[in-house]
A and B are shown apart, each in its own frame.
Chain A
Amino acid sequence: MKKWQCIVCGFEYDEAEGMPDEGIEPGTKWEDIPDDWTCPDCGAPKDDFEMMEVD
């Protein structure tokens, strides 16, 4: 499981947690998130996320 971070505002998407309120189940891999999904905080597109170091 990986974490991804928005390069604009720093929002983190954690694959393990998903975003159930947005219909993204826990465990959803980054590549399975729709391409038109955007950062819930600042609106940056999926392309503007980068993988974070795994703790």
Chain B
Amino acid sequence: MSTPKKRNFQIEAFKHRVVVDPKYAEKTWKILEHAIREIYNHNASGLSFEELYRNAYNMVLHKFGDKLYTGLVTTMTMHLKEISKSIEAAQGGLFLEELNRKWEDHNKALQMIRDILMYMDRTFIPSTHKTPVHDLGLHLWRDNIIHSKKIQARLLNTLLELVQRERTGEVINRGLMRNITKMLMDLGSSVYQEDFEKLFLEVSANFYSVESQQFIESCDCGDYLKKAERRLNEEVDRVSHYLDAKSLNKITNVVEKEMIANHMLRLVHMENSGLVKMLVDDKYEDLGRMYTLFRRVPDGLSTIRDVMTSHIRETGKQLVTDPERLKDPVDFVQRLLDEKDKHDKIIGSAFNNDKTFQNGLNSAFEFFINLNPRSPEFISLFVDDKLRKGLKGVSEEDVEVVLDKVMMLFRYLQEKDVFEKYYKQHLAKRLLSGKTVSDDAERSLIVKLKTECGYQFTSKLEGMFTDMKTSHDTMQGFYASQGGETTADTPTLAVQVLTTGSWPTQSSSTCNLPAEIMGVCEKFRAYYLGTHTGRRLSWQTNMGTADLKASFGKAQKHELNVSTYQMCVLMLFNNADRLSYKEIEQATEIPSSDLKRCLQSLACVKGRNVLRKEPMSKDIGENDAFYFNDKFTSKFYKVKIGTVVAQKESEPEKLETRQRVEEDRKPQIEAAIVRIMKSRRVLDHNNIVAEVTKQLQSRFLPNPVVIKKRIESLIEREFLERDKVDRKTYRYLA
């Protein structure tokens, strides 16, 4: 829509003649130049900043910006040259102070100048792409002062010398140092790096290279590490006090390389003070220091770990192969545990519980424990000892600790099935002789074995416990059924009925029981078979015990705690005072090796010699004669006559166990082969061996030769066949 009327307003500019003085620019600049000089001369108080600002403003407005800018550069350069001279003139220690003072002055002046020339800084400089006033001031300072020939080198040397003096223990003016390095940083990071840091690092490298050489010649490993640690801390401290934070990694790298990496191997292997010595002496502090220092350098930790692992391997190997150690299985295992504890503690307190170190420790143990084929037996014997007596009066938690440690050793075993064999034997003996200290501990260990190896591993062991319980009930039932028939005269019988298969198979060697016992045994047999039809009972006389009441010469009464065999022998002396070895053997029919052992414990052990032997000697001969020892005395009413038992297995027993183990392995290996071939159908020999080994290694380490023979047996039974063409490949026949 158009407006009906058009009114025209015109605003005219106020015509105001500006007379441009031709000398205006020159004059104005003179004023400003004068002001700048006054500022540098600390006479700024008399200046009118408002007027100066207006002058500068006008110059830019009247297109004299360029003149103003070049004027500024020239004037400032001139002033800086003067300053440079006065700094150069400063003597010795005053040099840095002078430099610092002038730098502060320059900064103040620069501030004021920038304020005056604010308009130029805001309009003229951005449009002409020139350097802003403040930066210009820094650049000019850099070019005229720091890079001046007479100052540049001197400044660097002074700084380095101060660092050097501090390194040798002098106290320096850190504040001043900080100001100067701050100045270098303000001038741009390249100035700091080029004019200071680069050389600083070089000089430091030299310094530490020389110093570490001196240290390593004169110090032992522990001292050296202490010194290196101190140096490292000093450098960190230095950076935080007066260097750029970015220098931290660079300088610590220098120290690490010169003081640690370069001497790492020599330090670790230092005789009488190196890593091995530290480990032997449990030097937690030194080891911890080594760990924290070495972890800073490449391969540092692996160096420590390798030396530690091979040291443990070596000492462990010596331990398990020392024939002296084999004499006492309990001590043998205790030493293994001590060794493990020792290194666990070192890794825990000095090596930051490093996983890779723990793995190294584990692999070393696995290595040497299996060097001794008797390790599984000994570990089981150790448990046996603990569960028989060792844990008496020990709190429940401590029992758990011991058992856990045993389980740890168990984990290292390659032949877990051998351990199982022995464990079963030892457990059987414990249960039957009623020697186990704590049922809870027994069960706890079985639970642990179960979690470790699965149900099939422990089912038979659990069966043994069940038998014990059932036997207890059976005995109660037996006596209840006998009613009042049992009088004080007839012997009390306690039978443990053992399920065949659950208990370790013992070459059952029976003997002739005395008539008194035979009677009650028969009664039990009748009772048991009456309640359990279809079962068979056979007496395991080699496993039983008996309590006998005996009277000796001066009306001394004792209760003798003996084995079933010993009881059979002693009962013979109810009717005779003298019996020859042959007579005893004939009457009892005890196997001769057992008989000798049992006679030895009856006649040859001091304080327990209820029999007398002729001739007197330590060993039992086939022509010896035995007498009832009327003069036997003892302080105790109850006398326990132990059998001279071979705690460890004898050589033939060991061979027998070994054979049984090998025999038990065969079906396991065959099952593994069939499992593998069932899924793979076709596989070559080496791969089968590898797979079988892998499948079975949690139980034992199968011998490749045995695997080969099992494969052949399967071929013979037509589970597998050899490939007609590639004879090393087998096919599964289904």
Q: Do A and B bind each other?
A: no
Chain B residues in the interface with A (C-beta under 8 A) = none
Chain A residues in the interface with B (C-beta under 8 A) = none
